[in-house]
A and B are shown apart, each in its own frame.
Chain A
């Protein structure tokens, strides 16, 4: 360590940063940057079959993406199913965090229980859903028959129920993690603000709207941004619960990428789909930032006025 410090002594800040970050940046470029760039480049090539050579195709793949329903509908489903699941998870997670923040006995255990689904295997836990909706000996159909004398429901062949189970599972899986992050945000709010508000005569509702919510803004940004990124990439639960059914109506873009890559060997279209997916996420994130977070420009303006750090 002393040698490193001695070596860095007298160097400019730029050189120091270069020495310290260089290996990491180089590693990143090699392991992530190059594949990322390759993916983007590949999206402009026609490459079908592991034995064939890539052929430049211009924007042909992109034209195909937005003209073939199998692609643009998969993207649309990724967006609406993913965002539906994420919205419920974020709101539900916030409610759970408020409960977790209450001074209850055995609070630690309670928080652990909420978090357990987040660390459970998707492949294993989605099977629980499948056991419920099994067409032969599924628990749901047995309950309907034995308790309500209702005929069996073909859960897997109803778009409504297929989406409902995907969303239900996604919320169950993600709510613990989201709640924990919300909780960290709640804990980070300075308690003296609440005390001061009480002295000023503020009620619970006023404290919530004027202290809790503004105090959670940075955490909310993190949760929503990571939520959007995860939402549009929704994949595993779809694969294991409906596998895109019924009749492809729940197929999302990542399952399409999987099929194009490993079943169809259509690496060009798979890359195009990946780039479109990344662009979609970027658009959502930028729009969210624009709508909710102070832009750099306005921060500078406030700073210049001496009203904002």
Chain B
């Protein structure tokens, strides 16, 4: 009996240690996840920020003050550049709009890409976490799984009427909108004018057709003699590669999936797009455009080693920042092609279904696409706004012609990357391998894509 009592005491003591540790662990001042009041009637809202964050996690009031102090101290020169000023102004405006609704905004910086996806997945499984999520490639997949809350009817109506289609189209599932981007872009063609001059080409003339583009790439690589290359686009085995190569499929009337969302890799249109990729790759060092990461291609362009690149809208500002004389145009068309594109750099906002105070969460999304916040994005110059009434003014078009090209593309045949019904990751791996194989082997394109299609369909069984 005595032994049993002693053991019982030990178990209780152990439990107390654990409970104490657990309580102290959750006593985190930054942990304001999932909407709730703080006792003063103010609603606490937690959002995972995107690039518009002034940096770090915590109460946005404090983060903004910290940013002001950093700027005043002059310690980080980059904080005075247009991009960082725009970040600050946008966050400040959204914070003000929410404060007027008695909502206190908190940022929970979960990073981007893999770390962000990991944490978001854990939050969905636990049904506990931030009130608003941001993300890019993973967001349509989350929406298809029913993990997000559809927009309320009034907000949906506002979005459809006022926001450019490309900013929400990829978050539409069964006629409902699950997310919207407050700033999004599409891919365009950029080129290094100096390298075109060195190759005897007109630096101000954009290649109008695929044929002309490949011919220019060939001439530039020949002129470079190992010092610089024609380049073309990054087409490596990851999201960066799919996003840059995708527009070439869309332009030629192809796409990753058919109308039933089934893989459609080996269509005649896609075979032609892959053939173009092979032709471009042939005039560059083997595997250069298919590197596992996009850094070598982006760095190569920035360092004047690569002439052509397909890239995001802020490449235009990037060229200015590093003093590179760049040309910009829409992506060249195939013989029977039409203008089309794939969105890139779309930081999409969405409300997880588990959130308790959804009304407050949607207020945040409303604030990001408000007139005031969108004007800050528009006149920051990096990305076009998503509000039609700003981008479609003559003032905007005259002041930011390059960004207006991006905006126009958002109105056309713009698609996002699809999420396959089954085995999404493995199906994308199959596509990635086909993309790489087309560039580094001589195997017939049709055979590569037939194999890829068969594997992809097997995964959908």
Chain A residues at the B interface, C-beta cutoff of 8 Å = 11-12, 15, 18-19, 22-23, 25-27, 30, 49-52, 70, 130, 134-137, 141, 145, 152, 154, 156-157, 242-248, 259-266
Q: Which residues of B contact A242 (CB under 8 A)?
A: 292
Prevailing SS type, chain B contact patch = helix
B376 to chain A, nearest CB (A): 33
Closest beta carbon of chain A to B33's beta carbon, Å = 17
Partner of A51, one of B6, B146, B303: B146
Complex Cα–Cα for A11 and B118 (A):
48
List A contacts of B124 (CB < 8 A): 50-51
User: Which listed residue, A18, A51, A130, A263, touches B7 by the CB 8 Å rule?
Assistant: A18
Stretch at the interface among B9-17, B153-161, B204-212, B380-388: B9-17
In the docked arrangement, what's the CA distance between A256 and B295, Å? 23
Chain B residues 289-306 with CB under 8 Å of chain A are 290-293, 295-297, 299-300, 303, 305-306
11 residue pairs from A and B, CB less than 8 Å apart: A19-B13, A23-B13, A25-B14, A134-B299, A135-B286, A135-B288, A136-B285, A156-B287, A245-B237, A262-B118, A265-B145
Q: Quote the shortest CB–CB distance from A262 to chain B (angstroms).
A: 5
Contact residues in A for B296 (Cβ distance below 8 Å): 134-137
5 tightest CB-CB pairs across the interface, nearest first?
Answer: A50-B124, A154-B287, A264-B425, A26-B14, A263-B425
- Contacts A50-B147, A52-B145, A243-B292 known; list 9 others, CB within 8 Å: A22-B14, A26-B18, A27-B17, A51-B124, A135-B285, A157-B440, A245-B237, A261-B118, A262-B114
A263 to B226, CA, bound (A): 38
Asked whether, in the complex, the Cβ of B433 is within 8 Å of the Cβ of A264, the reply is: no
Q: Is B121 a contact of A137 with CB atoms below 8 Å?
A: no
Say yes or no for B279: interface residue by CB 8 A criterion.
Answer: no
Among residues of A, the one whose C-beta sits closest to the C-beta of B422 is A48
Closest residue to B300 on the A side, CB-wise? A136
Q: How far is the CB of A210 from chain B (nearest CB, A)?
A: 50
Q: Please name the residue on chain A nearest to B15 by beta carbon.
A: A26
Query: Within 8 Å of chain A (Cβ to Cβ): is B429?
Result: yes
Give the chain B neighbours of A244 by CB distance below 8 A. 292
Contact B237 A243 (CB under 8 A): yes
- Whether the pair B424, A247 counts as a contact (CB closer than 8 A) is no
Within 8 Å CB of A264, what residues of B? Answer: 423-426
Q: Across the two chains, which residue of chain B brings its CB closest to A49? A: B145
User: Residue B437 at the A interface, CB < 8 A?
Assistant: yes
* Assembly CA distance A154 to B288 (angstroms): 8
Distance in Å: Cβ of B217 to nearest Cβ of chain A? 14
B17 close to A136 (CB less than 8 A): no
* Contact of A245 with B11 at beta-carbon distance under 8 Å, contacts A136-B285, A262-B118 already known: no
CB <8 Å contact, B433 and A265: no
Please give me the residue from chain A that is nearest to B423 by CB atom: A264
Q: How far is the CB of A3 from chain B (nearest CB, A)?
A: 13
Is the beta-carbon distance between A136 and B286 smaller than 8 angstroms? Answer: no
How far is A243 from B236 in the complex, measured between Cα atoms in Å?
Answer: 11
Q: Is the CB of A247 within 8 A of B291?
A: no
Q: How large is the interface on B (under 10, 10 to 19, 20 to 34, 35 or more residues)?
A: 35 or more
**Candidates A22, A27, A30; contact of B11 at CB < 8 Å:** A22
Across the interface, name the chain A residue whose C-beta is closest to B146: A51
Q: Using Cβ atoms and an 8 Å threshold, which residues of chain B touch A262?
A: 114, 117-118, 121
Report whether B147 and A51 are in contact in the complex, using a CB–CB cutoff of 8 Å. Answer: yes
- Is B229 interfacial (CB 8 A cutoff)? yes
Across the interface, name the chain B residue whose C-beta is closest to A26: B14
A246 to B290, CA, bound (A): 10
**Which of A136, A242, A260 has the most C-beta atoms of chain B within 10 angstroms of its own C-beta?**
A136
B199-245 interface (Cβ within 8 A of A) = 226, 229, 237-238
Please report the C-alpha to C-alpha distance between residue A259 and residue B424 in the assembled complex, in whole angstroms. 10
Q: Name the contact of A27 in the complex, choosing from B18, B146, B306, B429 (C-beta under 8 A).
A: B18
Tell me whether B3 is interfacial, beta carbon within 8 Å: yes
Q: Are A50 and B125 in contact (CB under 8 A)?
A: yes
Which one of A19, A25, A247, A259 lies within 8 Å of B425 (CB-CB)?
A259
Q: Judging by beta carbons under 8 Å apart, are B286 and A152 in contact?
A: yes
Say whether A19 contacts B285, CB under 8 Å.
Answer: no
Question: With an 8 A cutoff between CB atoms, is B436 at the interface?
Answer: yes
A245, B429: Cα distance in complex, Å = 11
The distance from the CB of B368 to the nearest CB of chain A, in whole angstroms, is 25
Are B6 and A18 in contact, with the CB atoms below 8 A?
Answer: yes
User: Do residues A50 and B121 form an inter-chain contact, with CB atoms below 8 A?
Assistant: yes
Asked if residues B237 and A263 are in contact (CB atoms below 8 Å), the reply is no
Instruction: Contact check, B290 vs A157: say whether CB atoms are below 8 A apart.
Output: yes
Q: Residues of B contacting A245 with CB < 8 Å?
A: 237, 292, 436
A141 to chain B: which residues have CB within 8 Å? 285
Name B10's contact: one of A19, A247, A259 (CB within 8 Å): A19
With both chains docked as a complex, state the minimum distance between the C-beta of A21 and any C-beta of chain B, in angstroms.
Answer: 9
B18 in contact with A157 (CB, 8 Å): no
Over the window 400-415 of chain B, the binary record of Cβ atoms lying under 8 Å from chain A Cβ atoms (1 yes, 0 no) is 0000000000000000
Q: How far, in angstroms, from A69 to B378 measured CA to CA in the complex?
A: 50
B147 with A157: CB separation less than 8 A = no
Q: Is the CB of A154 within 8 A of B285?
A: yes
Measured between beta carbons, the chain A residues less than 8 angstroms from B147 are 50-51
Q: Name the distance in Å between B287's Cβ and chain A's nearest Cβ.
A: 4
Complex interface: chain B residues within 8 A of A12 (CB): 3
Q: Whole-angstrom distance between the alpha carbons of A152 and B291 in the complex?
A: 14
The CA-CA distance from A134 to B212 in the complex, in Å, is 28
Task: Report whether B293 and A136 are in contact in the complex, using a CB–CB cutoff of 8 Å.
Answer: no
B11 cross-chain contacts in A, Cβ below 8 A: 22, 26
In contact, A137 and B305 (Cβ under 8 angstroms): yes
B424 with A263: CB separation less than 8 A: yes
Give the shortest distance, in Å, between A2 (CB) and chain B (any CB): 18
Complex: how many Å from CA A50 to CA B129?
14
**A25: nearest chain-B partner, CB-CB:** B14
What is the bound-complex CA distance between A301 and B83, given in angstroms? 76
- By beta carbon, the residue of chain A nearest B305 is A136
